[in-house]
Amino acid sequence: MTPDIDLESLMVRYQQGDLAAANSLIQDVSPRLHRYFVVQFSSREHADDLLQEMWLRIHKARHTYRPGEPVLPWLYAIARNIRVDHYRKSARTTGHEQALDETPEVETAAAEETERIPNLDVLLAPLPESQREVITMLKVEGMSLEEVARATSSSIGSVKQKAHRGYEKLRERLTMLGLGKGQVGELQ
């Protein structure tokens, strides 16, 4: 992945109509944004659709990016708005849908072993949306507190508080699953 300074120059060139810069930006940032959507919705199908929507909105709003500002917070603010729009839209439509009977899935020995150590999506799923979002940006994407605060339209203190509460809930969950400090990395 490209350092932020390169993302900024790619974004400026993209604003000026440089197709190669746009392609480079898409290649560098798409995996991050896709992972963000997967963590938020626990569905690769939704993540794929939302990523496509994301790039359409970025293309339409690229003129609003201010050169010299960090690109990632600007992108994640757009991603957050897409997530909220998707949530609102699905909340309106799910009231009119009827659930189908679920078919049981066949489990294999490998799946059982994988379930013993849950993946990050499963661990983060029970957290409130705001905590899940902050932890993903901080720990998965490696964004700074300032960048997360800007992307979520929050204060740095609020980001710290959400992260701390999320870490506490994750520690409790890992302890309940019998995965102590020796078996998983320390959350901080």
Quote the domain boundaries for residue 127. 118-181
**pLDDT (tens digit, 9 = 90+) per residue, 157-175?**
999 999 999 999 988 888 8
**pLDDT (tens digit, 9 = 90+) per residue, 25-59?**
999 999 999 988 888 776 788 889 999 999 999 99
Whether residues 15 and 74 share a domain: the answer is: yes
103 domain-assigned: no
Which stretches of the chain are DSSP H helices?
4-15, 19-41, 44-61, 71-94, 109-116, 120-124, 129-135, 145-152, 156-176
170 domain-assigned: yes
- Whole-number pLDDT of residue 97: 54
- Whole-number pLDDT of residue 170: 87
Whether residues 50 and 84 share a domain: the answer is: yes
Q: Which residues of the chain have pLDDT under 70?
A: 1-5, 42, 90-118, 180-188
- Whole-number pLDDT of residue 99: 54
101 domain-assigned: no
CA 57 to chain centre: 17
Whether residues 58 and 15 share a domain: the answer is: yes
The pTM is what? 0.57
